[in-house]
Structures are given as C-alpha cells and as structure tokens.
Amino acid sequence: MQEIMPGIEPEKRDRILNAAIEEFATFPYEKASTNHIVAKAGISKGLLFHYFGSKQELYEQLVGFVIEKMYRSIMDRIDWNESDLFERLKQIALIKMEVQQAYPHLFDFLLKVISNQHLAKAAEMIEFYKGYGLDFAQVSQDIYTRNVDYGKFRDPATTREAVNIVRWSLEKYGEELLAQMSSDTPLDLAQAAVSMNHYMDILKQSFYKPSLEQEGHAV
Amino acid sequence: MQEIMPGIEPEKRDRILNAAIEEFATFPYEKASTNHIVAKAGISKGLLFHYFGSKQELYEQLVGFVIEKMYRSIMDRIDWNESDLFERLKQIALIKMEVQQAYPHLFDFLLKVISNQHLAKAAEMIEFYKGYGLDFAQVSQDIYTRNVDYGKFRDPATTREAVNIVRWSLEKYGEELLAQMSSDTPLDLAQAAVSMNHYMDILKQSFYKPSLEQEGHAV
DNA sequence: TCTTTGTTGACCAGAGTGGTCAATTTCAGT
DNA sequence: ACTGAAATTGACCACTCTGGTCAACAAAGA
C-alpha cells in the first residue's frame, strides 16, 4: 500500500505508468515487452529497471496502483446519499470516463487483471487488497443496493430487467463516446453528462411511475 | 473469391482456421505466431506453410474467409420482409451468437480487421470485397432502414434514442451471454431467444404506441 | 513398382527477450 | 568551485522465439 515511484516528477511518472499500463493491457504478461514500454515512455531501459527491479515487480506495482486508483476514484466521488439509481449509474459512468481520460488503458488493464488473464499472482493481490477494504465485488453490489429507492419503479415484476437496460445503455454509450474521441477533442465530460441526462429522462419515463412533477436532476 | 483450403477434411480445416483466427484475434499481426497456430491446431509447421505459403498469405486468406462467412450468415438468414425493428435486431443478435459458436473468435478477428488494427492490406481487401457487393457499412445501414416500420414508435422525437437503447441492450446482453458460456454448456440459443423476447417485450411497451392486441412475436 | 500427395520436425539466420552495469549527467549542499 | 549522491544512459549478454526451408517419410492409387 506504499506510494508508487515516490519522489519522481508526476509528469514523467504518468508517462511511464501509462506506457506500462497500455503494454500490459494490450498483451498477455509474457508477450508484454519492457523494450516497448521504455520506448513509449521515452526513457532508457536502465531507468525502468532502476525503479522496478524486474518485469514482474513492475507488473505487481502496476496492479496495486490501478486497483487503488480505481477504488479511490469511485469512493471519493460517489454520492451515497443519492437514492435515485439512474443518477447513481450516471455518476459511475462519468467517473469511469474521467479516469479513462487520465489513464486511457487503465480500465482495460484492470479488467484483464480481475478476469485473471494475466499471472496467477494477480488473484492473490486482489485477495490481499480485500483485507484493506478494497473489494470491487462489494462495491459493485453496493452500487445497486446501498440506499437505493426501488419504489420509484413502475412495475416490480420487470424492475430487474429495467435496471439491466439502464446499465447496458450507460455502458455502451460510454464506450461509444470513448471510441469516438482519440484524435478528436479530448472528450467533453460536461457534454457527455448532458446527453446522458437525456437518455436517463427517456428511461425514467419508461420505467418509473408517472408523476405530475418530473424528478429534477442535478447537473 | 475461391474456396479456402480446397479438398481438405472439413474437421481438420476448421481446427486450423479456428486456431489461426484465435491467434490473429488475440495478437496484432506481427506478434501472432505461426508456431502457436500449428500447436493449437495439432499439425506440423511444414503443413501450414504447405497450405498457405507464408504468414501473410495465411492472414489474407483468413480475412477473405471471415468476411464471406459473416456476410453470408447475415444475408442467408435475415428476413428482409420483417418490418419490426425489434425482431430484426433480435435476428442479428442470434445470428451473431450462432456464428460465434462455430468460430468462437471470428467476430473479434473481424472487428480488428475492420477497425484496421492489423495490416494496411486489410483495408485494401475490404475495399476489394465491396466490388462483389460485400459491404458491411451498407448492410449495417440496411438493417435500420430497409423496410422498417418506424410508425410503430410512440414518440418520433425520441425514436433515435429508443433505437439506440434497443441496440445497446441486445449487444450487451449477447456479450454477457457469450462471456458466461466458455466452460458451461455450449450456449442454448433457443433459451437466449426466449429471454431476448422478454426484453424486447418490455422495450416495446416502453417505446411503441399502445395497442389493444399486443404484437405477436415469431419464435 | 512408381508417382503423387500429404505430412513431419530438425534446422536456419535473424530479431527480440529480460536484465546488467560501467560510465556519464544532473544537481543540491557546502 | 568541489563533492557525493542520485538519476539516467545504452551497449552488451545469454537466451528464446521468429517465419520459413527442406530432405525425408507415409499413404495410397495406378
């Protein structure tokens, strides 16, 4: 749980981290090349091994960094008092996009780590982090249960399906926005929030009970 | 447009094709290894080069095969007389899953080819196939326009968004079903169709005009 | 028996691998 | 200006893996 690469200039640190994250997100552990990483980060081979000692240690520190980053991004920004599920899922989607902007391949990498496509060591580490309260399974359960008002839904019999549809829509929409970006302007999060609100309004009308004054949404 | 690997036993042919497709779907062209392919297919190195001559030619024949396979799967099975958009999108989703069953990584590979993550040669070939009427951009446009009855939608102002939500839901649902399978039973397409119908009914109620007798759905 | 076709795997030169280390540059403290 | 420590370099190493070759063998029909 100690700081990664302490005392280095943050700009260079992020360059190295992003290069490594991208490499490990793109290739399985064995095919990920330290040569590629140093080339992409614009540093010498020696420096990388000066910081991390070995490829394996680099990978492990990276896993730690990514888990903590993702966990803190969620925990620091989610408003657990917000009882509207649509708003909460929108918050998640926006957080995800924000992280993706600073570390474009962080999520891909994290997915690979969690689904155990890399070293068996990764599973150990995830278990280890649970001891510190960083439990993604728990978080993703909390998102749908903690302080959520399911009474707003029109039909209890189809609430489960409605929640899935909302989740799928937000995920796919986020993916498509991120895919569009790349060479474009670096992604307007405010704009994304607006159009997500638009979709959420449509879905609320479909799945929530009708009400004379429509639920207001905070931007 | 000639047959791929003519005169070989179909079972061995598919073993080789699937091994190659998986390798090229997993790695970029340069890192895809012919050694891996022959090992996974259970044949000798010499035989692969006896059939294809070189790695590049193997790749190109593979692109051709995959494009034709996907195109024909769609064209042979889609009912262009079906004017209900929901039914049509469901058909697409089911076709996709059916192909995925015979060639599990075909779609990943095709996506990589189309989005030009491999050789520049691939773009050429896609252009070449357009000359024979195999145009994916055209097909994916037809799906949403050719003989579709948009009069069923309740609110013209949000029809575009409704279509997106339906599309996203089907895509995500299909992805989650495929992710679940793997070691499980090899995926029950009939079962998938049933639960997709369930989701489609919910979405029809949300986005279609109310009608006394609900639209029947063909299974 | 001969020819053709399918099939093997040891072998090759070259590229790429993770990792090392002596030599340099950078720079704060005096 | 001098010093010592820290940051940084890249040539180098032993090793693995690469795409591709080819002489040899197996099977089978003529």
What is the domain-level CATH number for residue B79? 1.10.357.10
CB-based contact A40:A23 (threshold 8 Å):
yes
Instruction: Identify whether B184 is part of a domain.
Output: yes
The reply to whether A55 has its C-beta less than 7 Å from any atom of strand C is yes
Chain A: nearest CA to B75, how far in angstroms? 26
Instruction: Identify whether A175 is part of a domain.
Output: yes
Tokens (6 digits) for A207? 């799945």
Instruction: Identify whether A128 is part of a domain.
Output: yes
In this complex, is the C-beta atom of A168 within 8 Å of any C-beta atom belonging to chain B?
Answer: yes
Domain, as residue range, for B89: 10-207
Cβ distance B161 to A202 less than 8 Å, yes or no, reads yes
Burial B125-154 (b: 16+ CB within 10 A, else e): bbeebeeeebbbeebeebbeeeebeeebbe
CB-based contact B134:B67 (threshold 8 Å):
yes
Residues B29-51 pLDDT 10s: 999 999 999 999 999 999 999 99
Instruction: Identify whether A90 is part of a domain.
Output: yes
Burial A8-44 (b: 16+ CB within 10 A, else e): eeeeebbebbbbbbbbbbbbeeeebebebbbebbebe
**Half-sphere CA count of B73, side-chain side, radius 13 A:** 22
In this complex, is the C-beta atom of B27 within 8 Å of any C-beta atom belonging to chain A?
Answer: yes
Give chain A residues 5-44 with Cβ within 7 A of strand D.
7-8, 12, 43-44
Radius of gyration of chain B (CA): 20
Q: For all residues of chain B together, what is the average pLDDT?
A: 87
**For the residues of A95-136, what is the DSSP string, one character each?**
HHHHHHHHSTTHHHHHHHHHTT-S-HHHHHHHHHHHTTT--H
Please count the structural domains in chain A: 1
Residues B157-211 pLDDT 10s: 999 999 999 999 988 998 888 777 655 566 678 888 899 999 999 999 999 998 7
In this complex, is the C-beta atom of B201 within 8 Å of any C-beta atom belonging to chain A?
Answer: no
Best of B198, B206, B209 to substitute, by most chain A Cβ atoms within 10 angstroms, is B206
Contacts 24+ apart (CB under 8 A), B26-31: B26/B105, B27/A27, B27/A31, B28/A26, B28/B117, B28/B118, B29/B59, B29/B118, B29/B119, B31/A27, B31/A31
pLDDT tens, residue order, chain A (219 aa): 566 766 678 788 999 999 999 999 989 899 999 999 999 999 999 999 999 999 999 999 999 999 999 989 999 999 999 999 999 998 998 898 889 888 999 999 998 888 766 677 788 888 888 888 888 888 888 998 999 999 999 999 999 999 999 999 988 998 888 777 765 566 678 888 899 999 999 999 999 998 755 554 544
Instruction: Identify whether B5 is part of a domain.
Output: no
Of the spans A64-73, B5-14, B135-144, which averages the highest pLDDT? A64-73
Instruction: Identify whether B4 is part of a domain.
Output: no
Instruction: Identify whether B189 is part of a domain.
Output: yes
**Nucleotide D23 C1' to residue B46 CA (A):** 12
Strand partners, A153: A208
